[in-house]
Amino acid sequence: MLITAKKGRDGAVTITAAEDPLGGTNYQPMQVDRAVIVAGSAVLDSDVDTDDVDIIGNKITFKKGAFDLAQGEYCVDVIVYNTTYPNGKTIVGSGLENTLEMDFRIQPV
């Protein structure tokens, strides 16, 4: 999936966290206690960036324009943390079934 983000803007993306514990396609909602979204060298952490990342149930919403990045294209990783994955599990990212590419733009004010 390709998204466009404009620095400083409020546009948001929502990711639904789900998995099949048996490795098949019978996906079940995942518990999400914390989410970290990484694009390039920029990080949004639901424990720190509470205005930019929101978790409701198994849905993670983040503001695309909240990243502090140079203009360009970035692969976005979404990492979730819960009791099963205390060190985090990447559910969206490079090399995975689900990928998210972001075209990050610097817009004049």
pLDDT confidence bin for 12, thresholds 50/70/90: very high
Query: Which range marks the domain in which residue 91 is found?
Result: 2-105
Among 12-26, 60-74, 81-95, which stretch is predicted with the lowest mean pLDDT? Answer: 12-26
Half-sphere exposure of 78 (CA within 13 A, CB side): 25
- How many structural domains are present in the chain? 1
pTM of the model: 0.89
The domain spanning residue 21 has which CATH number? 2.60.40
- Enter the tokens of residue 59: 């849905």
Entry field: residues in the chain? 109
Contact 91, 84 (CB under 8 A): no
